[in-house]
Structure 1
């Protein structure tokens, strides 16, 4: 104990005796960290959360082996959506083909290939049409009856044809209301690609739209949310500080904490990802709490007619320890995210932990040094002082209101805690039913931003709508919602059994797979061979000669089969299903998109196991299910590590500092209550754990411990000098005022994230605000009764009536210092 006290005394001396040097040192470090701000890079999108999954790696293998059919790092694709009364009519198909041709002819677009229903119909009319102009000629030279016949033939021979048409496609009438087309570019580095394509295709027809890319709403959200948060925080800080100079010192210290944290981000080379949007509100929340506690505790001593130096020594002597405990437990909570399989979550845990350490140093040392320096100036110069009264004084209305938890603890602590235990148990059981999910929609803004936001002035006014979301919703509405499962098959595709293995795996498909007769509805090199054989009699004879069991699938001389296929107009289609080295294949199965991802993934892996070669299942359903499983595992591990790590740390630290390790257990009780209520609230609100809010439990523990530590540590100090109930009353009234100011400021400052255009950030703001409210209520109402029962057990104090919670008639403060 003496060792840590010597360290605190040394810091106290520097704060009181050399505040100017401390201020200069911290400002110098600020200049250093500001230099790192220019190095910050940004990562967006969901790929960063799934790129390390085996199923995603299988998708990357498919991208590598089958080139233009999938967008890889060296290529990119643009999706066109056509909306018309009948996209299969002659003039409509010509417009779509001309739009593709104009993009192909545009300088710098590097078009490698195009795909559209119109192109399929054109090649059905003229198998020798290999260019877009030849396809246009084929359509324009055909009669309406020939076009209708070609549509029906294409639908019969080419399963992929109907996938590019809306789900109202009528084969008999040869009509559909919408079509999709894809343009593949030879590079991913085309500036403003979507906008340039949009301008070009608009010259071909107003019924063609460009899907574009998912918007990055982080910048739009920050521009909107941060000013609103700043205004709300300043308003509440004005109420909390009630002094202009103290207000400016507190805000300046918060700003420096943010500069240090994000400067570290740039210096360490950590990319800014969507999860890190939550770091500023968290640091602001903890900074507000530390600042209000520091100033309020200092004012309490000044109100007792203590001088500046003595008041600050008492303040830092007590609060440095409390801040250290809060920092240690909060850092443990955030670092528990390092067990996550998602790199962005790991980065969030690390950056948040570093930010909390910075906040501890700034508010534990820098702010007190500023306060001493400024108050000394006030003695020399007429600087304005509006109020030095502590927040929540005992004779104030707030001070009287804060005593409710103490009253319960005095009258019926055991009965109250039994009720809390039963309610928390029920709430916790209900919380176990919360779901997990992982979807691109988690990061997608609304199609139109709320009208009130449109009345904001520039630059705060967000876009009125997001065209990508409008187009995305159009595609979801118009096109068949059947999903796809992809199999990446590795092995020598020239072996006699290779194609039979692919064919047999589709027999008797599992429930989530769509059926075509008794077989799974699929696309593969086998279906390409079947389609080509139906269109080319010579190729059909070649297949028949090498088909041992007459099932239409060749068994012998597969190299010869592939050579003939690649020399035909079906070359491009064939290469989208078999690797050029003929050592891998891609199989696409159609699945029920409304089916549960768990069932779809289980079925996909069962089908993969039926292949004779190594086969890996992938596709969005499989990848997102894997991500969900990893997410849930990470949430559970993070929660366990946070609670266990924080409990061990608190037990150890209270043993070292106070000689009362059991105080650490009492400290954790309100945290457990808060966690149960937060998760239950998520279920009530219909919020699932996803990649973004999966960190909320670590945050709840971190912020909750912040509140309860201030109460417990203050109580430990007060309990050394006075009996149980007076110590508890002084603690709750004195610390509760600062907690109230901190809670209100944080709830409104963080809750403003609800305005974010990114729904994941908005939900995160609501959950964080709820966690703060629950932590506050638990610290002020659950913790007093917990401490009374702790005293009875740890110090063998008893009242005459155990249910009354009154003070022991025999216990004295001195007798309660040592645990049994």
Structure 2
């Protein structure tokens, strides 16, 4: 395949019509910028789990089981703390707060459920208004209140709203929680987002705080989870820019070249963000990692391009000739890097998580944009600027490349070549053992998926308080603080929801539900070998206890006298629905073709065990049954994390290896160079995963892409070394070619590595903890890729030349043994 015509076209355009190229790219930038106005945002863990069958079941349950004309609502949690929240003064605090909330039109409160209300109605069942309930507690003695608390404690709903230290005997607890249900605004959706139900009423936390009475207790209000995407972006990008400018100053040492590099980076970001808007891709938390990745790769391309151009200029070539030679080599190298990186990122399209798929698509598109801008636009600008310097007195502060054989950096980079000359096989054997050991150790890395992955820490670092007020995060995220308090002080009861699909009017439908709940697994709460459930059956039983007429109807249609009707079910449902307080719609769909069954489970049990047990219960249904609930959803997400990691890694390695083999076969006629190119990446992957286990980092929905990214970015370093070596090896013996490659390309790689590690490392400043870990892992993968490319590849290339070419390269371990046996000397091309 002849590709030189394309490179010649690029050379010609860059050298002969640079201003036209620059103008064309600027016009394209303006076109992509039109997509900015269409960018939407998405946050929270829901975006990662919305495609799971168990999550779809929850959506179906929410849609089907409720009133026909359901009012969208939002919720607020109130936490009360004192020496005893069940004491008379604390109860009065909460009842007064409840009364004020219900009386506030702005809060649109439909209900306020609190244990204080339960105590009041237990004292006086006729107290049905907030005022009457307040009077009931106010007039009661401490003994009467204690008796009412003990009586109310028979209700699990009451005790669940009290902290773990609730003592029935002394009628005391240090904390309680209450929930407020608000009617959402006109047209507001329950799903949240701009204009959605989760944001209504506005400023509700502040409003409720002002209404809270805390004479004898502390009352806290928990609103919605904080969205840290905007703050994180505002913190990370400027910090990355500062670090990048500092390293560019070291790499370029020329303000004009720094300006060219920054302009190209800005254009890359404009193209990528414009693509996000034009493609209608929501900007989710994972996409925050895309700009630093593109910045890092763009800087790498820029440094390599400018550095190679300076190498040719130092040798005395003209601007046109130097840039032609630069683009002849660098365009091919950039194309290989862009191709393999794009393959690595596109492998994320196999992920089970929609945001991960979006990340892969956006990152791959960004890599292509980076290739075009730094492979064509930057050389054209550089040619235009240097020609202007010849005509006008524009100062030039630096024209020499980064790194030389005599420099300290050059001597350090030559260590890998020195090892390759003296003992490549010993070194490779040692690295094989280390990598194998690391691989075994890496198999113990954990996987996880938790809402905590998406929440910031309770306290924000002090240095973030130095930021401008417009982007400064709060000193403490109150939502997270209260959430942590609830986790520490309240029992976390578990539930499994069962979404049952089938004709519920069939005579055996309710018997089927009853039979499936018998002899449940150990993690399911049970009484007398019957699972503790809430379902249409419990609604029927409750109504039968209170209504003799309905009880007689049930008995007439109960053929086996177990209290569950198994005949004329439509008639039973119709009679049940006649009650004004009927809960039929909560457990039976309007068309009576599906039902919801709620199981109580051990909140302390392992999620995986509960999920397995839930599916075993589902299998006992004759109808189609899908278990769901937060326990099931997050456990399934955890399993999909590992599955996605493995799938994307396999696709990345296979795709990248195939691409490299074909590329080197086409370019050099040596497909084996593609295999050599992949080996440092395998070492990098093992090192990254082993580091994850050592640092206690688990794979989750966000960092599950890290291995594909490690290949996508890390391949960059190996490609530059191998491609430069192949180019130098045409004209020089092995070891001089290696030295020239490692010192020349290694200088640019070092500048690129430092910029990337610190540029992407600023993600550690992210308020989202998972994103911070993500930045650290990318930085580690780049560091490992750099080290393996600079110090491991020379030995690999020496062995490659011995095995894949006609030369008889000197490899000390082999040749010494051969000389002893045969008494012959084996010269090589490198001698």
Fold shared by both chains (TM-score > 0.5): yes
How far apart, in 2, do the equivalents of 1:104 and 1:581 lie? Answer: 35
CA contact (8 A) 1:333 1:699 kept: yes
Greater mean alpha carbon deviation, residues 241-250 or residues 100-109? 100-109
- CA deviation vs aligned residue, 1:197-232 (integer Å, no higher than 9, x gap): 542354232333222111111111122222211111
Match of 1:50 in 2: 49
Query: Superposed, which structure 2 residues align to 1:253-272 within 5 Å?
Result: 253-272=264-283
Q: Distance in 2 between matches of 1:805 and 1:202?
A: 85
Deviation track 1:603-630 (CA, whole Å, cap 9, x = no partner) reads 0111122234332111111101111222
Q: How many angstroms does 1:557 deviate by?
A: 6.1
1:546–1:800 distance in 2 versus 1, CA, 3 Å: closer
1:493 touches 1:499 (CA, 8 Å); kept in 2? yes
Aligned to 2:709: 699
Aligned pair 1:333/2:344, yes or no?
yes
Q: Distance in 2 between matches of 1:593 and 1:677?
A: 37
- Give matches, 1:416-455, under 5 Å: 416-455=427-466
How far the C-alpha of 1:32 sits from its partner, in A, is 1.2
Q: SS at the partner of 1:605?
A: helix
Check conservation: 1:417, 1:785, Cα contact below 8 A.
yes
- Per the TM alignment, residue 774 of structure 1 is displaced from its structure 2 partner at its CA by 0.2
TM-score scaled to structure 2, two decimals? 0.91
User: Per the alignment, do residues 502 and 142 of structure 1 end up closer, same or farther by CA in structure 2, a change over 3 Å counting?
Assistant: farther
Partner of 1:36, secondary structure, is helix
Indicate conservation of the 8 Å contact 2:420/2:795, yes or no. yes
Q: Does 1:607 align with 2:620?
A: no
SS at match of 1:511: coil
Measured at CA, do residues 675 and 378 of structure 1 come closer, stay the same or move farther in structure 2, by a change above 3 Å? Answer: same
- Sort the Cα spacing of 1:524 and 1:92 in 2 relative to 1 into closer, same or farther, 3 A: farther
- Aligned match for 2:389, one of 372, 375, 378: 378
Match of 2:193 in 1: none
- Contact 1:127-1:569 at 8 Å conserved across structures: no
Aligned counterparts of 1:359 and 1:72: Cα–Cα separation in 2: 50
The alignment status of 1:171 with 2:168, answered yes or no, reads yes
Change (3 A) 1:470 1:281: same
> Residue 598 of structure 1 is aligned with which of 608, 616, 626?
608
Cα pair distance change 1:89/1:63, threshold 3 Å: farther
Listed as ranges, the matches of 1:316-395 within 5 Å are 316-395=327-406
Q: Corresponding residue for 2:207? A: 199
Alignment correspondent of 2:493: 482
Which residue number in structure 1 is paired with residue 821 of structure 2?
Answer: none
Q: CA deviation at 1:702?
A: 0.9
Mean alpha-carbon deviation: is it higher for 508-517 or for 612-621?
A: 508-517
Aligned-pair CA distance for 1:379? 0.9
In the alignment, the residues of structure 1 paired with residue 692 and residue 611 of structure 2 have an alpha-carbon distance, to the nearest angstrom, of 26
Partner residue, 1:181: 178
Query: Match of 1:688, SS?
Result: coil
Structure 2 CA distance for aligned equivalents of residues 147 and 46 of structure 1: 42
Tell me if structure 1 keeps the 8 A contact 2:208–2:221: no
User: 1:684: Cα distance to partner?
Assistant: 0.9
Q: Quickly say closer, same or farther: Cα 1:441–1:252, change in 2 above 3 A.
A: same
> Are the equivalent residues in 2 in contact too, given 1:448–1:465 (CA < 8 A)?
yes
Deviation of the 1:563 alpha carbon:
5.9
- Between 1:86-95 and 1:414-423, the stretch displaced more is 86-95
Distance of 1:790 and 1:308 partners within structure 2: 36
Asked if structure 2 preserves the Cα contact closer than 8 Å seen for 1:333 and 1:701, the reply is: yes
Residue matched to 1:758:
768
Please give the secondary structure, in 2, of the residue aligned with 1:803.
Answer: helix
Q: Which moved more, 1:708-717 or 1:504-513?
A: 504-513
User: Mapping of 1:204-603 within 5 angstroms?
Assistant: 204-206=212-214, 207-459=218-470, 461-516=472-527, 518-530=529-541, 553=564, 571-572=582-583, 575-603=585-613
Distance (whole Å) between structure 2 residues aligned to residue 131 and residue 425 of structure 1 = 71
Residue of structure 1 in register with 2:157 after alignment: 160
Q: TM-score, normalised by structure 1?
A: 0.92
Kindly indicate whether the alpha-carbon contact (under 8 Å) linking 2:205 and 2:221 is maintained by their aligned counterparts in 1.
yes
Residues 211, 471 of structure 1: 8 Å contact kept: yes
Residue 801 to residue 35, structure 1, CA distance change in 2 (3 Å): closer
CA spacing shift, 1:87–1:615, aligned 2, 3 Å = farther
- Equivalent in 115, 118, 123 of residue 117 of structure 1: 115
Distance in 2 separating the partners of 1:142 and 1:531 = 31
Choose from 72, 97, 100 the match for 1:99: 97
Aligned counterparts of 1:458 and 1:82: Cα–Cα separation in 2? 31
State the Cα RMSD in Å: 2.9
Partner of 1:4: 3
In 1, Cα distance between equivalents of 2:460 and 2:466: 11
Q: Distance in 1 between matches of 2:141 and 2:543?
A: 25
Deviations 1:689-718 (A, max 9, x none): 111101111110011110000000000000
CA distance in 1, matches of 2:252, 2:39: 34
Cα distance in structure 1, aligned partners of 2:247 and 2:740: 24
Instruction: Indicate conservation of the 8 Å contact 2:78/2:221, yes or no.
Output: yes
Aligned counterpart, 1:59:
58
Q: What's 1:14 paired with?
A: 13
- Following the alignment from structure 2 to structure 1, what is the Cα–Cα distance between the partners of residues 441 and 94? 53
Structure 2: stretches of 5+ with no match in the other structure: 185-189, 191-195, 817-824
1:782 aligned to 775, 781, 792, which one?
792
Counterpart-to-counterpart distance in 1, 2:581 and 2:72: 24
2:38 match:
39
Contact 1:578–1:585 (CA under 8 A) maintained in structure 2: yes
SS at match of 1:571: coil
Match of 1:747 in 2: 757
Once residues 487 and 545 of structure 1 are traced to their aligned partners in structure 2, the CA distance between those partners, rounded to angstroms, is: 29
Contact 1:242 1:386 in 2 (8 A): yes
Deviation at 1:659, TM superposition (A): 0.8
What is the CA distance between 1:484 and its match in structure 2? 1.7
Cα separation, 1, equivalents of 2:341 and 2:743? 24
Q: What is the CA–CA distance in structure 2 between the aligned matches of 1:149 and 1:525, rounded to whole Å?
A: 33
Residue of 709, 713, 725 corresponding to 2:723:
713
- Spell out, residue by residue over 1:473-524, the C-alpha distance to the aligned partner (whole angstroms, 9 max, x if none): 1111121123221112234445554444434433332122234454434433
Is the aligned partner of 1:770 residue 2:780? yes
CA distance in 2: counterparts of 1:750 and 1:64, whole angstroms: 42
Q: CA deviation at 1:117?
A: 2.9
Alignment check: 8 A CA contact 2:205 2:223 kept:
no
CA distance in 1: counterparts of 2:815 and 2:422, whole angstroms: 5
1:528 and 1:570 in contact (8 A); partners too: no
CA 559–116 in structure 1, closer or farther in 2 if over 3 Å, else same: farther
Residues 202 and 524 of structure 1, relative CA distance in 2, 3 Å threshold: farther
User: Quick check: 117-126 or 784-793, which moved more?
Assistant: 117-126
Q: What is the rounded CA distance, in whole Å, between the counterparts of 2:348 and 2:255 in structure 1?
A: 39
Aligned residues: 810
Taking a change above 3 Å as real, the CA distance of residues 250 and 681 of structure 1, as seen in their structure-2 partners, is: same
1:354-380, CA deviations, whole angstroms, 9 ceiling, x for partnerless residues?
A: 111110011101111111111111111
| The one of 75, 80, 87 aligned to 2:73 | 75
Which shifted more, 539-548 or 30-39?
A: 539-548
